[in-house]
Chains A and B, each alone.
Chain A
Amino acid sequence: MTAVVQGQARRPLSLRKLGSYILLVVVSIVVAFPLLLALAYSFMSESEIATFPPPVLPMHPSFDNYGKVVGTIPIVRYLLNSLIVSTAVVIGQLITASLAAYAFSFLVFRGRQLLFFVFLSTLMIPWEATIIPNYMTVRSLGWLDTYQGLAVPFLATAFGTFLLRQAFLQIPRELWDAARIDGSTTFRFLREVVIPLARPALGTVAIYGFLSTYNQYFWPLLITNETLMRTTQVGIAQLRFEESTRWGLVMAGVIMVAVPTLALLVLGQRQLIRGLTAGAVKG
């Protein structure tokens, strides 16, 4: 096995490079602006937000809004619920998607191609169309207001399977042959060769699955009624009013909810970028 060597020799900063760094800084400020503004608003009072021209930095920063969020909704419990459900979905998706992708890439069986396309075609079914059947199933299982009701419908992922299959196809076929000659079982090959080699893609599937579950709104709203079983996004909605909105309060809630996802992105960023581009160019 050959390890991929990363990193280049350091060279003095050329003018051209400096220019591109400045450009990158400007672009990243533009991209991060909504988040930074949310952060600034979360420290401002309502009357401070409602001045013209709109303020960008809080003049009298205070944690009042955060206190009010904690006082209004059980945010800690919501965060915990979201983390439990998202983690369960990630684990489930990694298991199902890697097994399915393994079958679609390494195992040879009749109708494999057809089955794969049927699998992929489920990507075309809008999620909204499956809400009612899913709801009825979950309800008939008595899973309303439970973690399994929140997590089970999302344990399999066609997108994740597709992504992993592409990654698995990058693994040289010779490894498979060698492993077979050495007497490896198919499962052992998956566990000891394929999984370690496809780590970036697995990381991508995990992060993608986590974020999309964490950001769900309608499904958790639909199948939970008990306050203690609700998730963060439903909690944020509770901070809104029908007739007027207190931006400071909402933004404080948004920041509190965004922290776990941001942490995940920072930690998994490298994996994510490597994973998403894997297979984009043949090489």
Chain B
Amino acid sequence: MRRLAALAIAVAMIAAACGGSAPGGTGTGTGTGDQSALAPGKDVKPAAKITWWHAMGGVNGEALNKIVNQFNASQSAIKVETVFQGGYDDLLSKLNTALASNAAPALVQVYDIGQRYMYDSGQVVPMQAFIDRDKFSTADFEPAVINYYKYQDKLQSMPWNASSSIFYYNKDAFGEVGLDPVKPPVTFTEITEAAKKLTKKDANGQTVRYGFGPSIYGWFFEQLLATSGSLYADNGNGRDDRATKVVYNNAAGKAILDWWKAGIDGGYFYNPGIDNAGATTAFQSGKTAMYLESSAALRGNINTAKFQVGTGLFARPDSRPKDGGNIIGGASLYIMKSRPVEEQQAAWEFVKYAMTPAVQAQWQSDTGYYAIVKAAYSEAPAKEWATKYPQFQTPVDQIRNSPQNRMTNGAVLGVFAQARARTQKMIESVLLGQATSQQALDAAAAEVNDAIDKYNKANK
């Protein structure tokens, strides 16, 4: 996987260096004005057939095809065909190759951190153009989700599968050691204290249960920075203007790593490595009593674990900064400029359908991603889901309660996949004692800044 990610970046750079941008630059107006001119005319007849590339395997893929089949059956003018293109990284690599020879589809699903790359490719019709043209209302959308996909306050793509990272804990273990099973720890110190109590050793001194065991995942570091109320990159996390450097080698970044490292050294945090699936398995099997993971893992955890699974607010510093909050994750839908206007029009018709409350509610209950449209929560499937998995309210509340600012909007970087991989190495080097927190932060920042420089030079 990692090799493919690197490949994606390499291909991205080649494509960018070869001058991938279409006439008209990035296709986005710089002002605050109406973008409807970028969309095809309102009277353009939608194409009879469009293709949608997605990265949803397994059950999520089935849920996605269900929606498409319903759309195709609901009307006779447009037929949407879906094509599974591997994971997010694979899909982006394939898109890059296809764009070079004009073989891209009308609609593509691209992960959260591919945002800046898609924007720089100049191959996207901004979603805002259609929204402005049709006066399509996004008033009922979750602000945290919609803000994530905006650049200079223009929506580039339509959010599709949204998730949020939350705190999971083993309620049975909490009861066993005398912790309150309905009041999970939230701050760094609270988690450390709970972890000390939850850690259990056998007669030989071997640890049979660790208190806390999050995977070394760059996404969590980004989330922890956001809950600390700190920026990841300059220029308003790359949202007011192109980011020129990362800024996480600050006090907030150091506090996160120091806390994590102290837990590992104390023997009450478990280090599963750079391995999300491994961390989930450790939690489900009871090897760890608390951990961090995406809300999309909720259903799997509840159905697999043999104990009561509790969910809580994502970890944050003891000071609980007021402007700190959580960033969303997931992926969004882009309409590609390289296709004829009729196809763009058809893609937009489908996107509108996908955003209806009924479809959103169904998507949520089939996958565990949360609905983007608030009205969806009063639809029957969403209500049933909420009764079955009351823990699901946690990520929804968490996102709704996050203050909306540049820190919680999350960073946008052209080289995000690379930057994330580098922060993972950084965390690992600290946990393994190969570097101090500050050394590791500075080394990672220097390397990522270098990559940002190169990327920015290639994408002026």
Contact = CB atoms under 8 A, between A and B. Distances in A.
Contacts of A140: 101
Interface in A61-87: 72
Most A CB within 10 A of own CB, among B282, B285, B297: B285
Interface string B204-246: 0000000000000000000000000000000000000000000
B54 to A, nearest CB: 10
Most A-side CB within 10 Å, residue of B101, B297, B368: B101
Interface residues of A, number: 35
Given A50-B284, A52-B282, A52-B285, A243 B97 contact: no
B402 interface: no
Nearest to A250: B58
B90 A242 contact: no
A46 B303 CA distance: 9
Contacts of B296: 242-244
A221 B57 contact: no
A218 interface: yes
A103 interface: no
A218 B294 CA distance: 27
B270 to A, nearest CB: 11
A23 interface: no
Nearest to A237: B86
Contacts of A247: 277, 281
Given A50-B281, A52-B287, A246 B58 contact: yes
A100 B55 CA distance: 42
B60 A242 contact: yes
Interface residues of B, number: 45
A152 interface: no
A242 B94 contact: no
A47 B304 contact: yes
Most buried by B among A128, A240, A244: A244
B151 interface: no
Interface in B305-339: 305-306
B304 A50 contact: yes
Given A242-B87, A243-B297, A244-B277, A218 B304 contact: no
A140 B97 CA distance: 14
Contacts of B84: 227, 238
Nearest to A135: B97
A247 B294 CA distance: 18
A46 B297 CA distance: 14
A54 interface: yes
A50 B55 CA distance: 26
A238 B85 contact: no
A14 B163 CA distance: 64
A12 B429 CA distance: 54
Nearest to A224: B83
A242 B304 contact: no
B90 A225 contact: no
B101 A136 contact: yes
Interface in B25-61: 51, 55-61
Contact of B100 (A128, A136, A217, A218): A136
B88 interface: yes
Interface string B285-300: 1110000001011001
B130 to A, nearest CB: 25
A217 B85 CA distance: 11
A227 B57 CA distance: 13
B97 A221 contact: no
A5 to B, nearest CB: 47
Nearest to A144: B103
A88 interface: no
Task: Give the secondary structure class of A's interface.
Answer: helix
Given A50-B304, A52-B285, A242 B101 contact: no
Given A47-B304, A132-B11, A218-B4, A240 B101 contact: no
Contact of B103 (A54, A131, A139): A139
A47 B306 contact: yes
Contacts of B10: 128
A241 B285 contact: no
A72 B90 contact: no
A225 B101 contact: no
Contacts of A97: none
B100 A52 contact: no
B437 interface: no
A51 interface: yes
A241 B60 contact: yes
Which of A46, A225, A227, A234 is the most central at the interface, judged by chain B CB atoms within 10 Å of its CB?
Answer: A225
A128 B7 contact: yes
A79 to B, nearest CB: 18
Contacts of A135: 97, 100-101
A189 to B, nearest CB: 44
B262 interface: no
A136 B300 CA distance: 41
Of A72, A136, A245, chain B has the most CB atoms within 10 Å of the CB of A245
Contacts of B281: 49-50, 54, 247
Contact of A234 (B60, B86, B100, B101): B86
B293 to A, nearest CB: 8
Interface string B149-163: 000000000000001
B199 interface: no
Contacts of A51: 285-286, 306
Contact of B55 (A52, A144, A242): A242
A241 B4 contact: no
Given A72-B58, A139-B101, A238-B61, 19 more contacts: A46-B304, A47-B284, A47-B304, A47-B306, A50-B285, A52-B282, A218-B7, A218-B93, A221-B86, A237-B86, A238-B57, A240-B57, A241-B60, A243-B294, A244-B296, A244-B300, A245-B277, A246-B58, A246-B300
11 contacts: A46-B303, A47-B304, A52-B286, A132-B100, A135-B100, A136-B101, A221-B86, A225-B51, A240-B87, A243-B163, A244-B280
